[in-house]
Amino acid sequence: MKNRIKTIVSMALVAMLVMGVMGCGQDKSVVKEFSPKYSPDTEYKLSVVGTYSNFESLDNAIERFYAHYPKGEITYTCLDDYGNAILNALAGDEAPDIFVAQPWMIGNEKYDSMFEGAEVLSDSELEINLDCLRPGVTLDMENGEIVALPIFATSYGMLVNMDIFEKEGLEVPKNFEELKKVCDKLKAAGYESPVMGSNTTTTPGIGYSFAYPMFANTVKGDRSVEGDLNNLEPSAGEAMRPALSRLKEFVDYGCIDVAKCSAEIENDYDAVILRFFEGDVPMMLCSGDVVSGTKKRESKSEAFSANPFKYDFYVAPSGDKGGYYMDSVSILFCANKNSKNLDMTNEFMRFLTSKVELGLMAEKKRLITPTKDYSLDEVYASLSGFPEDRTINVRDIEILDTAVKQFRAAAYAVINGTMTVDEAVANYGSIHTD
């Protein structure tokens, strides 16, 4: 009897041990997706510089990297006046190993030297798997080399209060006609302005978020106008007409009360989020960057804390067949090929370039992942499988910032009634911008 009890106890202990070991193994298998090239004892010190004052998603990625290479240190520094400072920093004695690049820098002569000094990530020797990225956000240089890794993507559209739609028994509108009908019902239900947004000329503003993707789609459909647009030729202003007309119709139909937006939303970021969290706005026009600020502000909003609700990001349904998805890159990482510790710099870049790491970083920042897998953040689930013909990415158009600013100013003028659509179209190239 005693022997039997001993056997049972021993077997139980062995089983627990085996299960424990298996448990440990399972944990490791998750991390094993990345196979380190170098010894875990490798000592290193890397610096990353960028524009974000807080980069928690990178901090988290660094911590995960430490799991493979614990004997090193990666620091992140936010540079003041980044656009100028990065060039001097790269030329200086304390040049960063990894630096942030922004999409507008590509093609800008000022930054040619910066990209020239960046490691070619598409070099097969580096074994960086760029296939996990969406082609639309992979920015290659003129020679076809990829020197910058997209970290976050962004877009323009609207935050939708899913609880209101569920409560009112409505579906999120897919095209402009549906939008009008939904707005009618919401107004009937007491929502004065079914759609709201920041009445500014900035990218998260009403005009840009709602109409710019449509404008971009127009340009995508006829890229011959691109040159004139970039040269601010007044004749190119016609390209804005479809988008501005739809914007005007959107306002005139009463989908949005611009005056109310001006009165209740002071700026294009915090105020947008906090007003949306009040819980009585069915749809809030914004950019992906605004969406990225929602997670941290949930706790800051007393209204949302008291009455939390489910919200998702959708592209604005501005077109007759549906909305237009601007698949834009937010920021990119470049590796400094002159890094004093180039091997580990490239190893870190290789570590980051995976759907898991980029997905986790995007999920933490609540921006859109540049990878093909949108599944890590359900807020952006609506973008998964979005039709290609209504998706516009950086390869599809090359509109310079000056042209974009003209559109933003035109859109602002139209929705605020300071210009008609015709006036805005006619004045392209000379519309006053801030």
Residue ranges binding other proteins (CB under 8 A): 49, 53-56, 59-60, 63, 73-82, 84-95, 113
Contact call for residues 136 and 119 (beta carbons, < 8 A) = no
Closest separation between CB of residue 226 and other proteins, Å?
31
**Could you say which DSSP state residue 133 is in?**
B
E-strand ranges in 295-364 read 311-314, 325-335
Using the minimum distance from each CB to other proteins, give the nearer residue, 93 or 125.
93
Question: CA nearest 433: which of 243, 207, 260, 112?
Answer: 207
CA distances in angstroms from 424 to 76, 236, 257, 265, listed in the order given: 44, 11, 21, 25
DSSP letters for 161-211:
EHHHHHHHT-PPP-SHHHHHHHHHHHHHTT-S-SEE-B-SSSTTBHHHHHH
Rounded to the nearest whole angstrom, what is the least distance from the CB of residue 13 to other proteins in the complex? 17
Pick between residue 74 and residue 183 the one whose CB is nearest to other proteins.
74
Q: Residue with structure tokens 């540049």?
A: 370
| Min dist. Cβ of residue 323 to other proteins (A) | 34
- Token digits for 41? 């004892």
Nearer to other proteins, 84 or 384 (CB): 84
Of residues 80 and 388, the one with the C-beta less far from other proteins: 80
Nearer to other proteins, 352 or 383 (CB): 352
Taking the CA atoms of 326, 361, 161 and 195 in sequence, report the sign of the dihedral they define.
Answer: negative
Q: Exposed, middle or buried by CB within 10 Å (0-12, 13-18, 19+), for 61?
A: buried
The token duo for 241 is 């007409």
Please state the closest distance from residue 62 (CB atom) to other proteins, in A: 8
User: Which C-beta is closer to other proteins: that of 74 or that of 128?
Assistant: 74
**90 vs 219, which CB is nearer to other proteins?**
90
Question: Which residues lie across from 287 on neighbouring strands?
Answer: 156
In this structure, what token pair is assigned to residue 196? 């709201």
Q: How many CA atoms lie within 13 A of 322 on its CB side?
A: 15
325-335 and 44-50 beta bridge pairing: unpaired
Strand-pair partners of 334: 99, 148
State the minimum distance, in angstroms, from the CB of residue 301 to other proteins.
13
Question: Minimum CB separation from other proteins for residue 26, in Å?
Answer: 20
Of 327 and 347, which CB lies nearer to other proteins in the complex structure?
347
- Supply the minimum distance, in Å, between the C-beta of residue 103 and other proteins: 21
Q: Which is nearer to other proteins, 10 or 84 (CB)?
A: 84
164 vs 182, 299, 308, CA distance in Å?
12, 20, 12
Shortest Cβ distance from residue 116 to other proteins (Å)?
13
Rounded Cα–Cα distance for residues 390 and 294 (Å): 26
- Of the candidates 258, 252, 146, the one whose C-alpha atom is nearest the C-alpha of residue 193 is 258
Which of 88/384 has CB closer to other proteins?
88
Tell me how far, at minimum, the Cβ of 434 lies from other proteins, in Å: 17
